[in-house]
Structure 1
Amino acid sequence: MAVYTEVTDEELQAFIGSYDVGRLLSFKGIAEGVENSNFLVHTDKASYILTLYEKRVNPDDLPFFLNLLQHLAGKGLSCPTPVPSKDGILLGELAGRPAALVTFLEGMWVKRPRVEHCAELGKAMAELHLDGRDYEGFRTNALNVDGWRPLFDQCSDRSDDVLPGLGAEIASELDHLEKAWPDNLPNGVIHADLFPDNVFFLGDELSGLIDFYFACNDALAYDIAICLNAWCFEKDLSFNVTKARALLKGYTSVRPLEADEYTSLPTLCRGAALRFLLTRLFDWLSVPEGALVTPKDPLEYLKKLRFHQTIEGTQAYGLER
């Protein structure tokens, strides 16, 4: 369920009337997603996605996100494009929430990505990184290595309720990563949440990237590490090196890795696994009784983290230097 704020017909009519998008024909809530309220809007001109930004999103970050989408779309990247109102404003207000209207992308996300999907993702991610090089906005990654320990501190006293010994295991990994984390890698705009449900395909062809609301400035190769975690493990959590090789070759066919990025990839993969372990752990322990959203299992990322801890070099991910 991803409609947290209900919108009346009258409110929506007035909001859509402030845009030059035609006459409203219909709208319905979109069930997928966990951060914001999303609606599919049909007018007599086109279809759009209307997003109401809920309390977990910092309103001060919204200009960064919306201007980034406009910038990337202008470069030719296939992503939702914010629609300006008749007054030229990208961010409005609806039902007491900040709200924006963006273009609708055709396509579907794939629940079981194949090798060819991973290759397409790698190419699109590299294009995003190149297209974002001259974006003037800046947003610090609040969930980078400096943010992991404060997040863990909020749930460390209950972590062993999820799995005995989990707290000590996380604390040990934090100690390692805080010392080993690279700080000299090429930096720029990253998506930071390119999970399969944020990548649309038409058949085997990638049709667009969506949900940029974790986008920030960080090491470009960290985005790759997030995707290796999200795309290259099977349902039994075994690592599929063929998918990893395809993802990395797709990426490097557009933007070759620098030497430090190549050697740092195992550490970045450990960090990405820990980041999602921690955010899932926090959500798992914080979800109120009767909540409509079921939190995701944090132990999935513990198992992925343990795999990356066994990796000694990037060649284990299928990419030769």
Structure 2
Amino acid sequence: MLGITIGTGEYYSRLAKLAARAVEEKTGIRTMVLGDEHFAASGLPAPHYLKLRLFDFTEDDFVMYFDADMVCLNSFNPKQFARKDAVVAVAESARFLHVRTAQDWGIPLNEYFNAGLLILHRQCHRDWLRETERFVETDTKFAEYDPYDQAALNITRHRLGLKLELLDRRYNWIGYGGSRLSHQVPVFLAHGLHPENKFANVDFFEGRYKPPFNWHIKIKEEAMDQLKGRTLQLKTQTKNAAMRVQLNRDGTIGPPHFPGFAQYWFVHDRHGVPALALCSEAQIVQEFKQAHTGRWQSVQRLESATA
């Protein structure tokens, strides 16, 4: 397996090299940065379309593509997720633009993925990438719709009927650093460290910035496996109030989503007791512990952090 990212221009070239180094250190796989020379020789209209020619730059059967603005924070083995017959990615957030794109092109919302992390196989996916390139070049509707590759990849995958396997949010956490609340977020790959500072990733790599989060959280994987695919009844802090929440196998919630805009879930250790955390893109919204009755009861609603 080879890890590939794209970095053209002075800033993104520097960012991509730092991101690739972190991926090598945390995953043990080799990496490659597609830079200005690759883009100049490609004849493509924009650097991000180099993603559609990944297998032209390597003889490896498996490729893990990752965006240059991703930061690998914890060690993991991407080879364990590789599939010969499936596009491996993370579900996109349910923002208006993504919902509209899925609806306009007839894609089930729960199959719309973020293209910032992709694990692909040459035999199964090289032709798909090339078909996506042709689609971008020739489809007149798309030409007026979206200048980037993510929507196109989703459209063509759906049209071709390619299998999709979704990883949980920890492998492509979007919106990391977007909240001022006191919280903890367990992350393997963060898609950006600060929503208002594009230099935060470089500052982090070079020791000038540390996000106000504790990402070194021990996930209770066995407890998560027992809850995946289940619908739970959760008791909130409001007296006698309860709700039913669907815990999807890829770490997403619903539909419907939990009030407070929670979209993802995980189980971790909280003072020696398993805690079910429901979180938005940037923060834990609420946590629950399991009562003797089997019902999960709220134990914490996070407050604003104090200086």
Q: Structure 1-normalised TM-score?
A: 0.27
From the two aligned structures, give the one with the greater helix fraction.
1
Q: Structure 2-normalised TM-score?
A: 0.28
Which structure is higher in RCO with an 8 Å CA cutoff and minimum separation 6?
1
From the two aligned structures, give the one with the greater strand fraction.
2
